[in-house]
A and B are shown apart, each in its own frame.
Chain A
Amino acid sequence: MEYDEKGVSIVPLDFKKEIFKEARKDFRYDEYVLGCLNCGVCTGGCPPHRFFDFSPRIVLQNLKTKDPELIWTMMDEYIWACFQCFTCAMICPFLNNPGGAIAILREIAVRRGFESARKVLKPYSRVLLKLTAYGNQLSPDMIQPDFFPDWGPDISYASADLKVKRKAIPMPTLQITNLSWDVSPEAMKELYEIFDESGVFKIIEAVDPSLYEIIMDIVEDVRSS
């Protein structure tokens, strides 16, 4: 987000209008944003609301104002507090889906490579790499103390001697630690096709260009094999 020396946003209004237009054009928008009774049930049941200054009711009300300025201010930080648990959608008496509306805004931020999206996705680069390049999400070698401080003091023990521990698991584990299961080259090629067609690779390029290059090297290797 761009600000002048006084902290005032210098993003032109036309750009903010364009962002809101993009959100409204989304085929899900009219299904997710209906009326609003301002009753606060969504926020009352919202798990992140207990920890952050975040309220799905405010998100929906801001969208109902159709004020591009208000919607833009949420894109920097506000919408990223949402857990995407969709409790709000489950309990809203109007059948709104505030979490879904947030997903639309987040997807815009990711597609356009906004700073907010880059910041949020940074810790997931290793997961993105495994997922897009190999079709695995978490592999044993990703379990390292630096990345999982919340796993407690025994995480160093869990990450040591992985090869030996894998052998002790009484089921086929490929005897390797950089993948959780075997994905055939045919399946991987199909996956790449899907990521190409759905624009996933493009999004990664916008959000994290260096990660994109690493992934592309692997993709080319597999495709030419």
Chain B
Amino acid sequence: MPEEILVIGGGPAGMNASVMLSEIGVNVTLVEKDSFLGGNPEKFKYKFLFPDLQPAENVIGELIKKTGNNSKVKVLLNSQISGFKQTGNKFDVAIKSPQGDENKIFNSVIVATGFEHFDPARDAKYSYQLFDDVIDIKDLEKMLGEGKFLRPSNGKPPRNVAFILCVGSRDRHVGNQYCSRVCCVVSVKQAIELKEHFPESDIFIFYMDIRTYGFFEDLYWEAMEKHDIQIVKGRVAEITSGPDNTVVCKGEDTLLRGPFEIPFDMVVLASGMEGGPQSLEMADKLGLEMDEHRFLKPRNITLSPFRSNIDGIFLAGACTGPKAISDAITEGAAAAMSAHIYAQKNP
């Protein structure tokens, strides 16, 4: 009898795990709460991916195609896990989907519930949702994906744009002490995209530390030497309204100029990643452990980052912490391998 493996979450990690398992002949059931596959990259219409600015279609579109048109992968959209219990080495799962409720025994389970973007409205100093021209990186990514480059308030090209890093990350006030890892490079990427579209505009990035780690650094250097983007060390303390329909960023340039108050046509907040309610829900239903950052906790963060505290349940992607799409895809493959081994050893 062929193995049955359950994958929860249809983002990059869950899709890649499903595709890999299908290729070795495993029957996969993929449960997704949204009405589409692709997770956050699809939801917010990511258009170009860092570090090489390749079209997201090459990655996300490709995975959606391979997962959706796959006879071994049963994709259940708008679906939920309504019941979960362990029977011996296997898992008895109740799934609620538009196709009806079903109960099924699975050999092993992969949880890939991903992340949620931090909601910048939770940090009042950024005046998000107060001014139309204060947006965040997911809003801008969506705008760029839809070919919109103009100011949300009046539809004119922005004369200058500020990117503010570490919004909702590395800040005890909002309860997130961790670094979200990718917002630096996403901001640099978007700054380059905007500058290419509006070569006359001035683009600033306000940072505490720029963490374009590894080869992402190439993009950071390119932003400075090819696109003349201004990088200023100092976190913005307050955003207020300014003259001429502008928004004023107030802060301290900690290296050079000291206090500044600069009016901008557009401000982009680099909001970070959070575990989101879906991971908490899975922790409750499946008996998984959460870590102090409100992400799912791997058994050993270094040796087995894709293994949960329960034998036979594996973790993949951003549900265990902020990460790039490539990392999520790698972890999907690792979790698929581990889930398969578990199923083989516990028939």
- A residues whose Cβ falls under 8 Å from a Cβ of B: 37-45, 49-50, 55, 57, 91, 93-95
Contact = CB atoms under 8 A, between A and B. Distances in A.
A43 B173 contact: no
Given A37-B208, A41-B235, A49 B252 contact: yes
Contact of B251 (A44, A50, A94): A44
Given A45-B237, A91-B237, A93-B172, A57 B254 contact: yes
For the complex of A and B, the 8 pairs showing the least CB-CB separation, nearest first, are A44-B237, A40-B252, A44-B251, A39-B235, A45-B237, A93-B171, A43-B252, A40-B254
B237 to A, nearest CB: 3
B172 A40 contact: no
Nearest to B235: A39
A199 to B, nearest CB: 34
Given A38-B254, A91-B173, A91-B237, A43 B208 contact: no
Classify the interface of chain B: helix, strand, loop or mixed: strand
Given A38-B233, A95-B173, 8 more contacts: A40-B234, A44-B252, A45-B238, A49-B259, A57-B254, A93-B166, A93-B173, A95-B172
A153 B168 CA distance: 50
Contacts of B172: 93-95
Nearest to A91: B237
Nearest to A88: B237
A37 B237 contact: no
A44 B173 contact: no
Indicate the member of B171, B209, B235 with the most A CB atoms within 10 Å: B235
21 contacts: A38-B254, A40-B233, A40-B235, A40-B253, A40-B254, A41-B252, A43-B237, A43-B258, A44-B238, A44-B250, A44-B259, A45-B125, A45-B237, A49-B252, A49-B259, A50-B259, A55-B252, A91-B237, A93-B172, A94-B172, A95-B172
B259 A39 contact: no
Contacts of B166: 39, 93
B253 A37 contact: no
B264 to A, nearest CB: 15
A93 B208 CA distance: 11
A39 B237 CA distance: 10
Contact of A41 (B209, B233, B237, B253): B237
Contacts, number: 63
Interface of B: 125, 166, 170-173, 208-209, 233-238, 250-254, 258-259
Contacts of B259: 43-44, 49-50
Nearest to A50: B259
Contacts of A39: 166, 208, 234-235, 254
Contacts of A50: 259
A44 B233 CA distance: 12
B63 to A, nearest CB: 36
Contacts of B254: 38-40, 43, 57
Contacts of A95: 172-173
A152 B79 CA distance: 71
A37 B170 contact: yes
Contacts of A93: 166, 170-173, 235
A95 B176 CA distance: 12
A105 B191 CA distance: 44
A57 B125 contact: no
Nearest to B236: A44
Contacts of B238: 44-45
B167 to A, nearest CB: 11
A57 B254 CA distance: 9
B272 to A, nearest CB: 12
Nearest to B237: A44
A43 B252 CA distance: 6
Contacts of B258: 43, 55
B16 to A, nearest CB: 35
A57 B251 CA distance: 12
A90 B233 CA distance: 21
B210 to A, nearest CB: 13
A177 to B, nearest CB: 44
B251 A38 contact: no
Indicate the member of B173, B209, B254 with the most A CB atoms within 10 Å: B254
Contacts of B125: 45, 91
Contacts of B171: 93
B251 A41 contact: yes
Contacts of A91: 125, 173, 237
Contacts of B234: 39-40, 44
A38 B208 contact: yes
Nearest to A38: B254
A155 to B, nearest CB: 33
A221 B114 CA distance: 75
A24 to B, nearest CB: 23
B88 to A, nearest CB: 48
